Every structure is written in structure tokens, then in C-alpha cells.
Amino acid sequence: MDYRNFRPRFRLTRDFGVQFRRRVRLLRESYRTRYATWLAQHQVAFEMALATGAGDIISSAPGPTPSQAPAHEDLHARVGLIFSSTAHPLACGSSTAALAAATPYFQSNGGASDHSREVRLNKMFDNLRNTDQGEQDTLGAESTMAYLQSLGANLEDASLFIILEIVQAPSIGEITRDGFVQGWKATNVDARPEAHQQYFSRLLVQLATNKDVFKKVYRYVFVVGKEKDQRALALDIALTYWGMLFSPPGQRWITASGVDFFEEWKAFLSEKWTRSVNKDMWNMTLEFAYKTMEDETMSFWSPDGAWPGVIDDFAAWYKKKTAMDVDA
């Protein structure tokens, strides 16, 4: 495939000539002018092919390794070239082969790869957006829900929140362009729907067993779940979210012996609590849940501890309740 076929598309994103001349000047520090010119054409073309989506033609097969390849690793690192000394473009019989040789660099390095991923993520966002919607940098409720379901999320359980945390959604029915692009970019996952689905699936499997993954998602639920102008969650809303998080595929708040602390927590709040749920109460509830799952007798708790008042009240309520059950 001839890289020149893509030049009109490149001009949609960058000026090929400006980038080409800049690259030639850098390469002439270590290469002869003729070779520097040839190499610059290919490097800039391949970078732009990836940035504009033409990089989809890249094969995952490794490119050929030349028998004699000059080692200029310091130069490669300094100017951000896309070829390593073991995958030299001079030995490649076609642009496709050279693109294949360049693939590992773009998957594991910054620079041009970051730019390429960001361009493709913006393109993905545009494809998700409802064309009838006036706002260009926001996915509305319908588009957001369709996107979540396309990745495999269930809108009625904790899997919903995995993706919302990744894209730092401001609310459950809204995703911003900046959050989408920067959030997925930070994962270092390739900017393809299939890659996003695979990444989501891996996190979904870990949600029930990995405390770090669960805590990250759990804490973000408070941010995404509350109204923008509010500093706390209404109790009924918080109970709904707790129900989603403390049920599969989330982590169940149940001890090894079968004590269902989430049911006890719900009963206590319904009976004794009438206020909203602030951020401290939300976050500390998870810490308390982990403690109770390790020690269902709550020997770790004392009235003089640093737990929020509502958790102190729950612990006292539960101890009294269980003592009454034993006496009965």
C-alpha cells in the first residue's frame, strides 16, 4: 500500500509538508540527506495514518528484521521516531510491512501514539453522539445508555458504574467528550470498541474480588449519583446504589458465616435514619463493611472510635439486637 494514497486525508488533521520538513531536519543529524528524506516521508505518513484512522490496515504480525540496521536508539528516543533499530523501514518491502513494524511502538509509547489515540477517541465519541442533539461535546441520556449497553453493562447492577467511573461521567445519564477521551486515554487501551469491551469485561470479573477496583468504582458512585447542585445523596437513592454495589457482580456485604450485614444496614437506616447520606458517611460505610466481613463480632468497634456517628449508632443497634436474639 502506498502511503501517498493517504495524503489528502492527512491534510484534514495536519500539514504534511510542515511535519515532513521538521522531521528531515532532525534526521539529517544522523543520516545522509537522501535517506533522511525517504525516512521522514514514511515516518510522518505512518504517524498520520494512525492518527486519521488509516492505521486500521496495520497488521499485528511483526515486520521483517534487517540483517544490518544502524543503531541510533538515542536519536529514536529523542525525536520520537516510530521505528526501532530492530525494525528498520529500509528493509520493509511495503508500507504495510513498515506499519506492522511500527505497531508495538504506538501501543507502548507516548508522543505520536497519544495523539493517535486521542484523535480516534474523539472520532468514537462523534459516532456515539446523536446527530439530532445540538450539544457536540456531550452524550445525552439516550446515547449514554446505548453506549453502556454496547459495552456489555447492565443498567440495573454495579457494572453500570465501571464505565461511568472510567469516563468520569458527571451524572448517570451524561458523558462529556473530555471525560470520554481523557478517561479512556488514561487506561492505555486501544481506541477501538472491541478493546474497550475487553477492558470492561476484565474489570467486571475483578469487581467482586479486587478491593482496589471495587473501592474506586464505589467511591465514584457518590460523585456520579448525586444531583450536581447537591452535596449529599437522598437516603432512598443511596440505598438503591448500595443495593446495586453490594450485590453481584459487585461485592456482597456478607460474612463467611452468612451474616448479611447489608440487610441489617438497610433495616437500621429505615428504622433510625432520616437524614441524607454525605460523602464521609458514604465512604466510611465501605470501610466499615470490610471490617465487619473480617470480624462479624465488631470487636474492632468502640464508642470512642473515629467512625461517623451513624455507624456508631448502627454498631450499638446491631449489638443490642443480636444480644436480644441470643437471650430469646
The full set of domain ranges for the chain reads 3-109, 117-206, 219-327
Q: Which residues pair with 171 in a beta bridge?
A: 174
Rounded distance between C-alpha atoms, residue 243 and residue 234, angstroms? 14
pLDDT for position 29: 66
Judged against a pLDDT cut of 80, whether residue 170 lies above it is answered with: yes
Neighbours of 218 (CB within 10 A): 25
Cell digits for 315?
454498631
Query: How far separated are the first and last CA of the chain, in Å rounded?
Result: 82
Evaluate the CA torsion angle 117, 26, 105, 102 in order and state its sign: positive
Tell me which of 23-37, 118-132, 262-276 is least confident: 23-37
Rounded distance between C-alpha atoms, residue 191 and residue 168, angstroms? 17
Cell digits for 249?
457482580
pLDDT for position 116: 86
Which CATH number fits the domain 219-327, given the four candidates 3.10.100.10, 1.20.1180.10, 1.10.238.200, 3.40.190.80?
1.10.238.200
Band of residue 304 on the pLDDT scale cut at 50, 70, 90: confident
pLDDT for position 145: 94
| Residue 47 · residue 116 · CB < 8 Å | yes
Judged against a pLDDT cut of 60, whether residue 190 lies above it is answered with: yes
Q: Which residues pair with 175 in a beta bridge?
A: 139
Average pLDDT, the chain: 78
Rounded distance between C-alpha atoms, residue 87 and residue 141, angstroms? 46
pLDDT for position 48: 61
Tell me which of 3-17, 160-174, 310-324 is least confident: 3-17
**Sequence-ordered list of residues with C-beta below 8 angstroms from that of 269, at least 6 positions apart, any chain:** 235, 239
Higher-pLDDT residue of 100, 304: 304
pLDDT in tens, 213-227: 999 999 999 999 998
pLDDT for position 322: 87
pLDDT for position 16: 62
Q: Tell me which residue of 179, 3, 184, 177 sits closest to 94, measured CA to CA.
A: 3
- Tell me if residue 138 falls in helix, strand or coil: strand
Provide, rounded to the nearest whole percent, the portion of the chain with pLDDT above 90.
Answer: 57
pLDDT for position 32: 73
Comparing 117-206 with 219-327, is the CATH topology the same? Answer: yes
pLDDT for position 6: 41
What integer is the mean pLDDT of 17-38? Answer: 71
Provide, rounded to the nearest whole percent, the portion of the chain with pLDDT above 70.
Answer: 68
pLDDT in tens, 250-298: 999 999 999 999 999 999 999 999 999 999 999 999 999 999 999 999 9
- Tell me if residue 103 falls in helix, strand or coil: helix
Q: For domain 117-206, give the fold.
A: Recoverin; domain 1 (1.10.238)
Band of residue 305 on the pLDDT scale cut at 50, 70, 90: confident
| Residue 137 · residue 177 · CB < 8 Å | yes
Q: Tell me which residue of 245, 199, 201 sits closest to 222, measured CA to CA.
A: 245
What CA–CA distances, in Å, run from 279 to 217, 238, 240, 276, 308?
14, 11, 16, 10, 11
Which residue is listed with cell 506499519? Answer: 99
pLDDT for position 130: 80
What CA–CA distances, in Å, run from 273 to 131, 286, 309?
45, 18, 11
pLDDT for position 323: 81
Rounded distance between C-alpha atoms, residue 222 and residue 233, angstroms? 7
pLDDT for position 236: 95
pLDDT for position 233: 96
pLDDT for position 102: 42
pLDDT for position 49: 58
pLDDT in tens, 61-107: 333 333 333 434 433 333 333 333 333 333 333 444 444 444 443 44
What integer is the mean pLDDT of 34-43? Answer: 73
Higher-pLDDT residue of 321, 110: 321
Judged against a pLDDT cut of 80, whether residue 244 lies above it is answered with: yes
Long-range contacts of residues 34-40, Cβ cutoff 8 Å, at least 24 apart: 35/90, 39/89, 39/90
The model carries a pTM of 0.67
